[in-house]
Structure 1
Amino acid sequence: MEPVFPFPVLLPRGSGGLTHALHLQLRAAILDGRLPPHAALPATRKVAEALGVARNTVVTVYDLLVAEGYLVARKGSRPQVVEFARRRSKPARVGTDDSRFAPAWRAPFLQPSSVRALPERNFRLGIPDHRHFPHDVWRRLTAQTLRKSAREPFAYAPSQGIPALREAIAQHVAFARAVACSADDVIVTSGAQQAFDLIARLLVTPGQTKVAVEEPGYPPLRAAFAAAGARLLPLPVDDEGLCVERLPEDVRIISVTPSHQSPTGAAMSLRRRAALLDFARRHRAVIVEDDYDGEFRFGGRPLDALQTLDGDALVFYVGTFSKSMFPSLRKGFVVAPAWAHSGLVTVKHCVDSHCDSLTQSALAAFIRDGHLARHLRHMRPIYAERRAALLDGLQRVLGRWLQPIPSEAGLHLAARFRDPARAARLMPTILRHAAGAESTADYAMTRGIEPAVTFGYGVIDAGDITAALQSIRRTLERGREP
C-alpha cells in the first residue's frame, strides 16, 4: 500500500500508546515543515487502513492537533495545516559563523551586492539592449547544435574550449581589435570573471604578490585577486588612464581597462600604453588587459590594444561577450602568452573542467557565420544616438553642475562635479532621478577620489535619457542649488 504521509510513521506494537505516538510524529512533521502550511491531511479512514490502527485513533489525533492550533478543521473537507503552526518551532540561529572560512573569504567587499529592482529603461552599467538582439538566429543555431549533439557520443569538452570556438574568437579579435593570436592562444572561460580568477590562481603567491589595480576600478576583478591572496595596490586614474608613473618597482601584476576605463570611461593614451609596457618589461611584471566595453567605438580609429603592442609576451588579454551579446551567455576568453598557456589550462581543468559544449558550439557558429559582426554594426548607431543624447544633456541640461569625462567607447559615460565640494549634497538627487546610475565612489577601495557619476545607456532610449536629465535639473533648481 502506498504511504499516506511523505515520511515514515513508526508506531509501537500492540494497542498501548498508539494515539500518543501518532500525535507526536504528526506534530513534529508540522513543526519542521515536512507537512507544510495549507497541506491537507489524508482522510482518517485511509490513514487508519494504511497504519493498521482503529479509525477512532486517527480521529482523536486529528482533533487533538486542531485543538492545539496545528490544524484547522474544514466542514466536509480534510483538515489543513495552519500557516502559523511552524512559528512554535525553535527559531533558526540568525547570522553566519565565518570563523572556519579561509581569511580571504571573510572580507565584506568580496560578497556580491544585492540586485536592485529597477524600471525596464534605466541607466544601469554593463547591460546591452535585448530588444535588438537577433533572437531568431540564436534560437536556430542553438537548435542546430542540439540536433547535432544528439548524433554525437557524450564526452567531456577540452578544458581550454572547443576548437571551433577558439578559432572563431581568434579571428574575431584579430579583425575587431588587431589582437595577433591563433586558436592555440585562446582559452574559453565562463565570462571575464573566471578569466580573472584563473590568472590570479596561476600567478599570485598568497601574501606576497603585489597587484596594481585602478582606483576607482572594477570591483569583481579586484575581488578575484584578493581571493587568491594578492596584496592589492590601488593606483589613481585620470583622463589618460592609469597613472603609470605611480607604479612601485616591486609590483608583479598590473590590471588595467585601457579601452574604456571602468568606471570613468577614459581611454589610456598611447603615451601611457608605451610607458606601461616598458615598465612591465623592465620589472618582469605582467599586465592583465581587460578590454572592457571595447566593441563599441564612436570616435576615430581605436588605439591599439596593449596585447597588439606587446613584443615581450607580457599581456593577458581578457574579453567577454556579455556586452556584445548578453550577460547570461557567460562566455569570455583569455588570449594568453605562450609561456602561460599550459598553466592556465591546468588551472581551468582543476576548477571547472570545461565550459558547456552546447553554447560554445552555438557561439562559434554565431561568430563564424558573421552574425556577431552584423549585430555589432547594427547596434553601433543605436548606442551612438543614446550616447549623443546623454552627452548633449550633460552639457546643455546639467552643465551647470556636471562636466562629462572624455570617452569614445563603451556603453556608459561618466561626469565629474564642477564643484566637488557639492558632490555629497547633489549625488542623492541625481541617483534618485537616474535609476541605475552609480557613483564612482562605489568602485573605489579608498576614500578621497574625485567624485563622479556614471550613466549607462545600454537599455535606455534617447528620449528617456533627456527626460531623466531634465527631471534632475528641475529638482536641483527647486532646491536652489547654485
Structure 2
Amino acid sequence: MHPFEFPLDLPGRGSRQRLQALHTQLRAAILDGRLKSGLRLPATRELAVALGLSRNTVVAAYERLLSEGYIEPRRGAGHFVAALGAPRTGTPVDGAGVAHRLAVPWRAAHVASPAAPALAYDFRLGSPDPGLFPFDVWRRLSMRAWRNAARTALGYDAPQGRRALREAIARHVAFARAVACGADDVVVTCGAQQAFDLLARVLVTPGRTVVAVEDPGYPPLRDAFAAAGARVVGVPVDAEGLQVERLPAQARVVYVTPSHQFPLGVTLSPQRRAALLDFARTHGATVIEDDYDSEFRYGQRPLEALQTLDRSGSVCYVGTFSKCLFPSLRLGYAVAPPWLRPALVRARQLADGHGDPVAQETLAAFIAEGHLARHVRRMRRVYAQRREQLLQALARHGRGRLDVWPSGAGLHLAATLPREREAARVAALAAREDIQLEALDGYALGRVPPNGLAFGYGRVEAADIDAAVRRLARLLD
C-alpha cells in the first residue's frame, strides 16, 4: 500500500537516480505543504517495502533531508516533518498586481478578527448573557433531535427550512410581534446576515439599484448590498427614527430597524412608519424590516411591525435568535411576501443548500414547548434591571457629559458626548481602564458622524454598572 496520498515518480530498478528522485520529491512535498509540519514519516523499512526500494536508499534520503533541516528525529518515535513556516504555494505574486482578478467590491476585503477577550466592564453590543441560558434543556432537546435524525436517515433537506421550525417561528412572531404569517411565508436562514445576503442577491441589479440605509446604521447589511453591486445611500436618523422625507426617489430597497434603531436605539414614529410604507407603495420599493432584539421591551407597548401594517406586499421582515438565545446558534429567518419568497428560497438553495436540520429541529421543539417564551420573560427582567441601573448611573455620573438617546427596547443604549470629547478617543481611553465601549461614529456613513458611545448591557452585571460609569465619568473630566 502506498504510504502517501500523492504519487512518487521513481526510476525503474537498476537506475542510479532512485535516491536522488526520492529525496527531491519528498523535499518538494514538504515545501509545498503536502507533507505538513509535525507529520510522522513512515519508518525506513516500511517505506522501502512500499516503494520497492532498498532500505539503504530510504535511509540515505532521510539523512539528506535531516541534514537540510526538512525533517527531525524524535527518540523512540521516528522521523517527523520539521516546522518550516507557511508552505509555498507557487511563485510569490504582488497583491496589487493580481487585484484585477477579484470583483471590485472584494479588492479591499477585510475579514473581522475574532472578538478579543472581554474587559472587566463589558458593554459590547449585540451580546446576550450566555450564563443564563438553559443549556440543560437545549442539550436534552438536541439529543432527541439527533435520535430522530438517526431513525429517519438524513439526506438533503428543504432549503426553505424544516417545516416544524417554520411553523414554530410563525406562531412565535404572531404572538410576540403580531406579524401575520404562516409557515409557508417563512424562510429559515443561517442568522440574519444570511437573510441580508440572500436579499441582496435577488433584489440588486449591479450598478443600477439604489439601496437606502439608516445613517448611522448596521455596517454588515451595507456591506452585503454593496458587494452585490448596489449603490448604498445613507439617510439621516433623528429622535423619530429614519427621516423618511429624505429618502432618494430612486431608492428601490430601504433598510430600517424601526423597533430599536441600530445603534441609536430610537423607535420609528407612527407617522414615519405610515410615510415609509407610502413611499414603498408609490415607488415600488422593498422595505427590509430588521427586528433584531425587540423581544426585550421595557414598560411601553410596542408599535406594530411594518410587516403588520403593510398592505402592498412591500415589506420583508427579518428576525434572528442570536440576541434572545445565543449568537453561535446561527439561526434567523425572513418573512417574505409571496412575490419575493421563491427567489429567496432558490438563492438559499444555491448558497448552501440548506441549514443544519438537527439545530432546526431542536429550536422548533424549544419554541413549541414554551422554553423560548419562558427564557425571554426571564431575560427581560434581568436586562430591565441592568438597563435601569445603567440609566441611573448615566444620570448620576454623566450629567453634562453624556446625553442619552431615548430607547424602550433591546440590549443597548446610546449617549452623545460634548463636541470637545472625541468618542473614539474616549473609547480607547476607557479600554485602558478595563471598560469595553464602542464609538457611534464607527456605524456612520455621513460626513458628520454622531459623537457618542453605545452601551450594551447584555453581558455586564448589574452590580458592576455604577462603578464602570463612575470610572468613565472621571475619564471625561
Matches within 5 A, 1:427-442: 427-433=427-433, 435-442=435-442
> Offset of 1:90 from its aligned partner?
7.8
Matching of residues 85-124 of structure 1 within 5 Å: 92-93=92-93, 95=95, 97-106=98-107, 108=109, 111-119=110-118, 122-124=122-124
Q: Closer, same or farther in 2 for the Cα pair 1:76/1:231, shift >3 Å?
A: closer
Q: Which whole-Å CA distance do the structure 1 matches of 2:254 and 2:127 have between them?
A: 26
Distance 2:100 2:74 in 1: 49
Contact kept in structure 1, 2:193 and 2:220, CA below 8 Å: yes
Contact 1:71-1:80 within 8 A present in 2 as well? yes
> What per-residue deviation string (whole Å, max 9, x for no partner) do you get for residues 30-69 of structure 1?
3334444455555445544554444444444444344434
Aligned-partner residue type, residue 178 of structure 2: A
What is residue 249 of structure 1 aligned with on the other side? 249
- Show structure 1 runs of 5+ residues with no match: none
**Residues 43/475 of structure 1: CA separation in 2 closer, same or farther (3 Å cut):** same
- Work out whether residues 288 and 317 of structure 1, in 8 Å CA contact, stay in contact via their aligned partners in 2: yes
Number of matched pairs? 474
Assess, with a 3 A threshold, how the Cα gap between structure 1 residues 281 and 21 changes in structure 2: closer, same or farther: closer
Asked if structure 1 preserves the Cα contact closer than 8 Å seen for 2:423 and 2:440, the reply is: no
The within-5 A match list for 1:285-364 is 285-364=285-364
CA distance in 1, matches of 2:339, 2:85: 63
Partner of 2:390: 390
- Determine helix, strand or coil for the equivalent of 1:339: coil
Counterparts in 2 of 1:378-457, with a 5 A limit?
378-419=378-419, 422-423=422-423, 425-433=425-433, 435-457=435-457
Deviation at 1:287, TM superposition (A): 1.2
TM-score, length-scaled by structure 2:
0.90
**Correspondence 1:468 to 2:468:** yes
**Contact 2:440/2:452 (8 A) holds in 1:** yes
Q: Secondary structure at the match of 1:275?
A: helix
Indicate conservation of the 8 Å contact 2:318/2:332, yes or no: yes
Contact 1:434 1:469 in 2 (8 A): no
- Asked if the contact 1:294/1:409 (under 8 Å) is kept, the reply is yes
* Counterpart in the other structure of 1:28: 28
Contact 2:315 2:337 in 1 (8 A): yes
Matches within 5 A, 1:183-222: 183-222=183-222
Following superposition, the deviation at residue 294 of structure 1 comes to 0.8
SS of aligned partner of 1:141: helix
For 1:21-60, list aligned pairs within 5 A. 21-39=21-39, 41-60=41-60
Q: Does the 8 A contact of 1:404 with 1:415 survive in 2?
A: yes
1:103 maps to a residue whose letter is V
Structure 1 residue 418, shift from structure 2 partner: 2.7
RMSD: 2.8
Letter in 2 for 1:99: H
Could you tell which deviates more after superposition, 268-277 or 152-161?
A: 152-161
Distance 1:198 1:87 in 2: 35
How far residue 135 of structure 1 moved from its aligned partner, in angstroms, is 0.9
* Seq. identity, %: 54
What TM-score do you get using the length of structure 1 for normalisation?
Answer: 0.89
Cα distance, 1:7 vs. partner? 4.9
Inter-CA distance 101–474: structure 2 relative to 1 (3 Å threshold): same
Contact 2:119 2:435 in 1 (8 A): no
Which deviates the most, 349-358 or 281-290? 349-358
Q: Using the TM superposition, give the Cα deviation of residue 264 of structure 1 relative to its aligned residue in structure 2, in angstroms.
A: 1.0
Task: Please say if residues 32 and 88 of structure 2, whose CA atoms lie closer than 8 Å, have aligned partners that are also in contact.
Answer: no
**CA shift for structure 1 position 153:** 4.7
Q: Extract unaligned runs of 5+ from structure 2.
A: none
* 1:452, distance to aligned residue in structure 2 (A): 1.4
**Equivalents in 1 of 2:155, 2:395: separation in Å?**
57
Give the Cα–Cα distance (whole angstroms) in 2 for the partners of residues 86 and 325 of structure 1.
Answer: 39
Instruction: Out of 54-63 and 122-131, give the one that drifted further.
Output: 54-63
